[in-house]
Amino acid sequence: MRLKVVARRPKTSTRDARKPRSPGDYEAELVRLCKGNRREAERLIAEQLERSPEMSRQGAALAVVTRLRHERAPFPRPL
């Protein structure tokens, strides 16, 4: 008796699907996290650049995106 081998696509989580592809995409991701409010995204980047003036704009956008994702992460539920 032979078993039939079926090829399957690798599973991708929604986290992987939302992951930006290039450094310039972090600003677009930030605008998405700000619900399309570009002014709010610009304000957050400016705040980050004030805190760390040596940081690039892309680095600041990445830092803000990372912080927002961390702050919005759901808390683990008790068992």
Q: Does position 30 have pLDDT exceeding 80, yes or no?
A: yes
pLDDT at 78 over 70: no
| All residues at 6 or more sequence positions from 13 whose CB lies less than 8 Å from its CB, including other chains | none
Give me the long-range contacts of 66-70 (CB less than 8 A, separation at least 24).
Answer: 68/30, 68/33, 68/44, 69/33
Q: Largest Cα–Cα distance of the chain, in whole Å?
A: 69
- Residue 71 identity: E
Q: Return the domain boundaries, the chain.
A: 22-72
**pTM of the complete model beyond 0.75:** no
The predicted pLDDT at position 74 comes to 85
